[in-house]
Structure 1
Amino acid sequence: MTKAEKNGQIIAIARADSIVLSDEQSALDFIMTLSSETGSNRIALNKDGISEEFFKLSTKLAGGILQKFINYNIKFAIFGDFSSYTIKPLKDFIYECNKGNHIFFVSSEQDAIDKLSIAI
């Protein structure tokens, strides 16, 4: 875990080489740990830290996990390559998240920092 600062915003950046978000409880633990260690309400995580089940919308895992971030007022960016996901509902879900102000799917860590550094 590292921190970045841009536009006066502190962003916690987690680079996981194993799954750290696999269910709602792990999301809550992740939020509490990173926000308490960094004092930030803006978190970025690489895609490799998220269970593949998250990207199967029928499991409703994405909705449950992302709702935790919204409930705790945490802006959250997932960075990585999403091009392998070609199912229209998932592509639409990612598109809609990116239009909002709290959840972002971006291609790089720098893009995550840029999105999360916008004060809203």
Structure 2
Amino acid sequence: MLETLHGVAVYHCSPEGEALATERDATDVLGEVYLDNPDLLAIPAARLTGDFFRLESGVAGALTQKFVQYGLRVAVLGDVSAHLEASEAFAAYVRECNRGRQVWFLADRAELVRKLGDTTGTARPTG
């Protein structure tokens, strides 16, 4: 589903879709959203495999890098608190991501709306 929030075209991935676990999965998503030309991809945390939340697996970096390479920002929406508690490294990664503009970890759509509203004017990529 595509919607515009604070001037940003956001594509919401379905929570019922296939798990996103590999770069190939990311490429498939890029193909799905290509014609909609979104600025930001909102991915339900439930679509991500356990390896995503284990930084040493490299899955989080590979997936987010693939999306960002193709000009998409990423917002992972959902409760990741169990993963934050289980790994200080992942908690630090989330804190650092949320300070930036490319990858965010947010509780839900409402928090995404607030984040985009707080960053309007600086959040939208140029190009």
- Normalising by structure 1, what TM-score? 0.87
- Alignment check: 8 A CA contact 1:46 1:80 kept: yes
Who is 2:56 aligned against? 58
Higher relative contact order (CA 8 A, sep 6+): 1
Who is 2:97 aligned against? 97
Who is 2:111 aligned against? 111
The Cα offsets for residues 27-67 of structure 1, whole Å up to 9 and x where unpaired, read as 1111221232x221311011111111110111111111111
Pairwise CA RMSD: 1.7
Aligned sequence identity (%): 22
Figure out how many residues of one structure are paired with residues of the other and give that number.
118
Distance in 1 separating the partners of 2:73 and 2:114:
12
Distance in 2 separating the partners of 1:7 and 1:65:
25
Distance in 1 separating the partners of 2:19 and 2:32:
12
Distance in 2 separating the partners of 1:26 and 1:107:
23
In the superposition, relative to structure 1, how do residues 15 and 109 fare at CA in structure 2: closer, same or farther (>3 Å)? farther
Distance in 1 separating the partners of 2:79 and 2:103:
16
Indicate whether 1:31 and 2:30 are aligned: yes
Who is 1:11 aligned against? 10
Residue segments in structure 2 that go unaligned for 5+ positions in a row: none
Who is 1:81 aligned against? 79
Who is 2:69 aligned against? 71
Distance in 2 separating the partners of 1:7 and 1:19:
29
Distance in 2 separating the partners of 1:102 and 1:35:
18
Which amino acid letter does the alignment assign opposite residue 5 of structure 1? T
